[in-house]
Amino acid sequence: MTTVLDDIITGVRADMAARMAVVAPSQLKERIRWMGPTLDPRPGFGGDTISVISEVKRSSPSKGALATIEDPATIASAYEAGGAAAISVLTERHRFNGTLDDLRAVREAVGIPVLRKDFVVDPYQVLEARAFGADLVLLIVAALDDKQLAGLYDLALSLGLLPLIEVHTAEEMRRAALLKPELVGVNNRNLKTLDVDLAQFERLAPLAPHDAIVVAESGIRDAADVQRVRAAGADVVLVGEALVTSGNPREAVQTMIEATRPGRGPAGSPGRATVMNDDRQGESNE
């Protein structure tokens, strides 16, 4: 049975083939050769309050159109002013109405790290991410087999990109842990049904590698949700819909950060299980 994820990836591959016919991988590599270093997002992730990756998101498969974003640089700058640790830019065209030009515009507008959020299934897309200014790239375990995942992960690191490894099942967390990732995202949305359940984060976060930075993705609507996932072990939240529909993205980011300031709610971040990655205990995330 074909899933929503399958349909999205089919469209992603078709779009990628069209881009490759215009810009060869060698051209992207040449562009990258002349670029400066990427920004390291890790110093901005963690601390006394939750870190927020704020997303430029026009639409979604589950909700349709969310916001009219004519200039992604403007909303990205508002996010940065509100205290966002990084900006996520959706570049998938058919379901999310995003483009690589959005990624480039945001990179030029802000001084914080930028994530390319897409359904990455080919090395070409990792090259694109770097060439258009990303500092991080999303890799979705559900979209890749182990060989593909490891290959794309290693390529991203070689280009100076920090991979965000996304999971939404315990088995995917097990597969992700084999990479010894520094950044793991738990997607509260089932990519095959589009259902959202914050309890998914509460189930999976304790299984994350002990020294990984853990990101809660999808379904974060308000300060109470931020406090809930923070209490379950989130170091970072990735938020799109709630911010682009807020009317005041700068203030919305600030509110989410302040929700986890010590003394304001159940914001403790408990330790996570170590059994999946014991050999890395004691190593630094840096």
Q: Hey, which residues are catalytic here?
A: 55, 57, 117, 166, 187, 217-218
**Residues pairing with 53 in the sheet:** 86, 238
| Torsion angles phi and psi, residue 219, rounded to 5 | 80, 10
Residues 6+ away with beta carbon under 8 Å from 37: 160
| 1 residue type, one letter | M
Residue for token digits 């309050």? Answer: 49
Other C-beta atoms closer than 10 Å to the C-beta of 174 total 13
* Cα distance between residue 196 and residue 190, in whole Å: 6
Torsions phi, psi of 261, nearest 5? -65, 135
DSSP conformation class of 20: H
Rounded to whole angstroms, the Cα distance separating 14 from 280 reads 39
Cβ neighbour number for residue 57 with a 10 Å cutoff? 26
The Cα 40–Cα 123 span in angstroms is: 21
